[in-house]
C-alpha cells in the first residue's frame, strides 16, 4: 500500500504556536505543508517517534546578520543548530547591497566594525557578483541553504551608493538624493526584501573607528526612505538608536510609521549607564501603539547580551596590557602557548593597561561583572559568582583569577561579561521586556560578532532558562515562549504561512527532547573563509529540525537536505488554514 504522507510525527506533545496548552497529537506532512494534526491513521514515507518529545513550529529569528555568510555557506549556523527554520538578516543598517565596486572595502570595514566579522573573511568570502539590491538577492538565491532566509535593504549601503564619500561622512542628503534612496529602497522591497533597516547608535562604527554613515541622518531622509516602502505597500522598518534625546528621536520614528503606513521594530535593551531608560522607550512605544494606532514594537532579548573574552577571541581583559600586546599578533597556537606560560601571568599581574578608553575602564576592568560560564552555561549568575567577588574571598588580585580562567583548556578558556540587560545582576528587566504587550524576541545576531558575542543561541535559552530552569525569579509558560518566537516573530515581519502547527501551514517543525534540552558552552571554530575564526554554540536535545517537510538536522547533525529558500517578500496565510480551538 502506498504511503499517504511524506512524513508523520507520531505521539508527540504538540506546542502549536497559538499559545494554547500543549496536547498530544500526530502531525502529517506532504508536499512541504502540514496536512493533518490529530490522530493520523495513514502511514508516512518517513516517520518520527515523537513520544516523550515536544513538537513545535520552527523558530523564526528576525534579527541576524548572515548577509555575507549566506553568499558562501549552505548552512546558516549557529541558527539552524537551535531549531531556527527562518531568519531575517540585513539588520542594523549594514549589508552589502547596493554597492559599487569602488565601495567594496568601505562596506567590508563597516560590517567588520559593527558586527565583528573579520575583513579578511569577507574579502575572501564575498563573490561581489552583484551591484544592485535585486542582483544581490539573485546571487543569494543561487546558493542552496538549509533554512529559509529573508533580507532587508541596509541604510548604510544605500546611503554610500547614492551619496558616495558625502554619505560615508554623514553629510546631509539633498532632496534629490533622498528621492533616489527612496526609489532604490522601493526597488529592493519590490524585488523581495522584507524591509529596510538603519542604525543611529554611536556603538556602531567602522573597523577604523568612524561612526556608521547613518548615525545622524536627518528626519526628511528617514521619512523619505520609509515612504519608498509605503509606495510599494510592503516591508517593515527596523531601527537601532541610542535614543539619547528620546522624545525628539521617537517623534521621527512615529513620523516614519505614520506617513509610510509600514510597521516598525526598535531594538531595546537595558544599558547599565542608563538602567531605566528602556522603561521610557517601552512606554513611548506602548502609547504610540495604543493611543495613536501606530504599528510599532520593540525587539528585546531574553538574556544578557554577553561579551566573551579570551586569549583566542577579539578581546580579553589584558588586551591593553603591554605584555599581551607583545604576543597578540602571533599565530594562534604560539599565542596560546605564550599566554599560558606562568611567566606571562607574572608579567600581566605586574602591569596595568596602557589605554584608558571607556571600554577598557567599564568592561575590561569590571571584574565584578565577569563570570565563568561553565557547561551548561548559567546566564543569570549571582554577583557572588563573579571573578571579582571570588578574588576578594581568596584574597588575591582579580587578574589572577581571570588569567586562570582564560588559561584553562590550553588557553581556550573564556570569561563572560553580561554587557546589556544585567545592570542589577538579575534578569528581571528581561522578564518585564519579554512580557510587555508591544515586544517580540530578537537581537540574537546570528552570523555576527564572531569573536566577541555568541547569542545566536537565544532561541534555545528561551526554552531552557525561561520555561524550565530559572530559579531566581518567575518563569514563562512553554506555550507562551513558543508562540513568541514562532508565530509572533513571523507575523511581525509579514510571514503568515509559518509559526503555527496547523493544516495548510508550511511544514517547518522541531521535535525536541525538552526534558534533556541542553545548551553547551561556546567554542571556537576556524571554518570561515580565509581560515577565519568564529564562536559557535551547540545544543543537544533537538531530535529533528524540519524545513518544508524535509529533515535538515537529526540530533544536531546536518542531513543532506537543503530545502531552505530566499524569501522574496512577505507570505500570505494559507486560505485553507485550520487551527484547533
Secondary structure element (H or E) that encloses residue 248, with its range: helix 246-260
Burial 87-100 (b: 16+ CB within 10 A, else e): bbbbbbbbbbbbbe
Average pLDDT over residues 343-351: 96
The residue behind cell 566573551 is 308
Average pLDDT, the chain: 96
* 3-class DSSP assignment, residue 353: coil
Give the integer Cα–Cα distance in Å for 93 and 323.
37
Q: Are residues 156 and 297 in the same domain?
A: yes
For residue range 391-404, what is the model confidence (pLDDT) as tens digits? 999 999 999 999 99
* 3-class DSSP assignment, residue 17: coil
Average pLDDT over residues 29-47: 97
Instruction: Evaluate if residue 1 carries a pLDDT over 80.
Output: no
Task: Output the pLDDT for position 218.
Answer: 97
Task: Output the pLDDT for position 426.
Answer: 97
Instruction: Evaluate if residue 358 carries a pLDDT over 70.
Output: no
pLDDT band per the 50, 70, 90 thresholds, residue 324: very high
Instruction: Evaluate if residue 362 carries a pLDDT over 80.
Output: no
Q: Are residues 147 and 275 in the same domain?
A: yes
Instruction: Evaluate if residue 581 carries a pLDDT over 60.
Output: no
CATH code (residue 272): 3.20.20.140
Task: Output the pLDDT for position 356.
Answer: 61
Lowest mean pLDDT among 57-71, 450-464, 527-541, 566-580: 566-580
Q: Look up the domain containing 193 and give its range.
A: 60-304+429-492
Lowest mean pLDDT among 39-48, 435-444, 571-580: 571-580
In a domain, 361, yes or no: yes
For residue range 413-459, what is the model confidence (pLDDT) as tens digits? 999 999 999 999 999 999 999 999 999 999 999 999 999 999 999 99
Residues 6+ apart with CB under 8 A from 316: 309, 310, 324, 364, 406, 415
Task: Output the pLDDT for position 161.
Answer: 98
Q: Which of 492, 515, 531 is the last residue of a domain?
A: 492
For residue range 475-515, what is the model confidence (pLDDT) as tens digits? 999 999 999 999 999 999 999 999 999 999 999 999 999 99
pLDDT band per the 50, 70, 90 thresholds, residue 2: confident
pLDDT band per the 50, 70, 90 thresholds, residue 205: very high
Phi/psi of residue 191, nearest 5 degrees:
-85, -15
Q: Are residues 186 and 320 in the same domain?
A: no
Instruction: Evaluate if residue 307 carries a pLDDT over 90.
Output: yes
Q: Are residues 330 and 196 in the same domain?
A: no
In a domain, 508, yes or no: no
Nearest Cα residue to 544 out of 523, 520, 561 = 561
Q: Are residues 336 and 467 in the same domain?
A: no
Domain count, the chain: 2
Task: Output the pLDDT for position 55.
Answer: 99
In a domain, 203, yes or no: yes
Q: Are residues 257 and 351 in the same domain?
A: no
Amino acid at each position: 500500500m502506498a504511503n499517504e504522507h511524506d512524513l508523520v510525527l507520531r505521539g508527540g506533545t504538540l506546542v502549536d504556536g497559538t499559545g494554547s496548552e500543549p496536547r498530544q497529537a500526530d502531525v502529517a506532512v506532504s508536499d512541504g505543508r502540514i496536512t493533518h494534526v490529530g490522530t493520523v491513521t495513514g502511514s508516512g514515507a518517513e516517520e518520527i517517534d515523537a513520544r516523550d518529545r515536544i513538537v513545535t513550529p520552527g523558530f523564526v529569528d528576525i534579527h541576524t546578520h548572515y548577509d555575507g555568510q549566506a553568499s558562501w555557506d549552505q548552512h546558516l549556523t549557529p541558527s539552524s543548530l537551535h531549531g531556527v527554520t527562518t531568519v531575517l538578516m540585513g539588520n542594523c543598517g549594514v549589508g552589502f547591497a547596493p554597492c559599487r565596486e569602488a565601495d567594496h572595502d568601505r562596506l567590508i570595514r563597516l560590517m567588520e566594525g559593527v558586527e565583528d566579522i573579520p575583513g579578511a573573511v569577507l574579502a575572501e568570502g564575498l563573490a561581489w557578483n552583484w551591484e544592485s539590491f535585486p542582483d544581490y538577492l539573485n546571487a543569494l538565491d543561487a546558493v542552496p541553504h538549509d533554512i529559509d532566509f529573508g533580507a532587508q535593504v541596509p541604510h548604510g549601503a544605500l546611503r554610500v551608493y547614492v551619496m558616495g564619500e558625502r554619505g560615508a561622512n554623514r553629510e546631509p542628503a539633498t532632496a534629490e538624493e533622498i528621492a533616489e534612496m527612496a526609489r532604490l529602497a522601493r526597488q529592493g522591497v519590490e524585488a523581495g526584501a522584507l524591509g529596510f533597516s538603519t542604525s543611529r547608535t554611536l556603538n556602531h562604527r567602522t573597523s577604523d573607528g568612524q561612526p556608521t554613515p547613518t548615525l545622524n541622518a536627518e528626519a526628511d531622509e528617514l521619512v523619505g526612505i520609509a515612504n519608498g516602502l509605503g509606495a510599494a505597500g510592503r516591508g517593515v522598518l527596523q531601527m537601532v538608536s541610542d535614543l539619547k534625546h528620546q522624545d525628539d528621536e521617537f517623534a521621527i520614528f512615529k513620523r516614519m510609521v505614520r506617513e509610510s503606513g509600514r510597521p516598525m521594530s526598535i531594538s531595546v535593551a537595558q544599558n547599565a549607564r542608563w538602567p531605566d531608560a528602556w522603561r521610557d522607550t517601552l512606554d513611548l512605544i506602548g502609547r504610540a501603539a495604543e493611543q495613536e494606532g501606530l504599528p510599532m514594537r520593540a525587539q528585546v532579548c531574553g538574556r544578557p547580551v554577553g561579551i566573551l573574552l579570551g586569549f583566542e577571541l577579539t578581546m580579553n581583559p589584558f588586551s591593553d596590557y603591554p605584555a599581551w600586546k607583545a604576543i597578540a599578533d602571533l599565530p594562534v597556537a604560539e599565542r596560546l602557548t605564550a599566554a599560558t606560560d606562568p611567566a606571562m601571568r607574572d608579567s600581566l599581574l605586574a602591569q596595568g593597561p596602557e589605554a584608558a578608553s571607556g571600554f577598557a575602564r567599564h568592561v575590561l576592568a569590571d571584574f565584578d561583572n565577569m563570570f565563568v560560564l561553565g557547561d551548561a552555561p548559567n546566564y543569570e549568575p549571582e554577583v557572588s559568582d563573579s571573578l571579582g567577588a571570588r578574588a576578594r574571598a581568596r584574597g588575591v588580585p582579580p587578574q589572577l583569577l581571570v588569567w586562570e580562567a582564560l588559561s584553562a583548556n590550553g588557553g581556550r578558556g573564556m570569561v563572560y561579561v553580561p554587557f546589556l540587560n544585567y545592570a542589577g545582576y538579575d534578569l528581571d528587566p528581561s522578564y518585564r521586556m519579554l512580557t510587555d504587550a508591544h515586544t517580540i524576541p530578537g537581537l540574537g545576531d546570528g552570523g555576527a560578532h564572531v569573536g566577541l558575542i555568541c547569542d545566536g543561541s537565544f532561541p534555545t535559552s528561551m526554552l531552557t532558562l525561561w520555561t524550565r530552569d530559572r530559579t531566581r525569579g518567575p518563569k514563562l509558560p512553554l506555550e507562551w515562549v513558543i508562540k513568541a518566537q514562532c508565530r509572533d516573530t513571523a507575523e511581525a515581519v509579514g510571514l503568515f504561512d509559518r509559526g503555527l502547527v496547523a493544516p495548510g501551514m508550511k511544514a517547518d517543525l522541531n521535535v525536541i527532547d525538552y526534558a534533556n534540552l541542553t545548551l553547551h558552552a561556546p567554542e571556537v571554530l576556524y571554518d570561515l573563509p580565509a581560515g577565519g575564526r568564529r564562536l559557535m554554540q551547540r545544543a543537544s536535545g533537538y531530535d529533528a529540525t524540519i524545513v518544508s517537510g524535509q529533515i535538515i538536522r537529526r540530533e544536531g547533525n546536518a542531513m543532506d537536505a537543503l530545502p531552505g529558500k530566499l524569501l522574496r517578500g512577505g507570505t500570505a496565510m494559507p486560505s485553507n488554514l485550520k487551527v484547533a480551538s
